[in-house]
Amino acid sequence: MSNTRSTNQTREGIEVKAGQVWRDLDRRMKGRTVTVLAVAHDFAMVKGTKITRLSVARMHRHSTGWELV
């Protein structure tokens, strides 16, 4: 089975790009947001309280996912 999804695209087809702001939908995070710094190889480098790596596969609307602000 081939994967037609780009490495920087979410399940919904949203292209993850530098400069975007994403909100953590996990209720325990109380509205935490991060800013995308760069995207490469299925991961986004993001800055919130610190710079970290976030899997693009997790960036979708779900109770423990993310949404584009």
- 12 touches 61 (CB < 8 A): yes
pTM score of the predicted model: 0.86
- Split at pLDDT 50, 70, 90, the class of 58 is very high
pLDDT at 54: 95
pLDDT at 13: 93
Tell me whether residue 60 is exposed, middle or buried, using C-beta atoms within 10 angstroms of its C-beta: 0 to 12, 13 to 18, 19 or more: middle
Residue pointed to by tokens 């994403």: 22
pLDDT in tens, 2-37: 455 567 999 999 999 999 999 999 999 988 999 999
pLDDT in tens, 41-56: 999 999 999 999 999 9
Partners of 39 in the β-ladder = 44
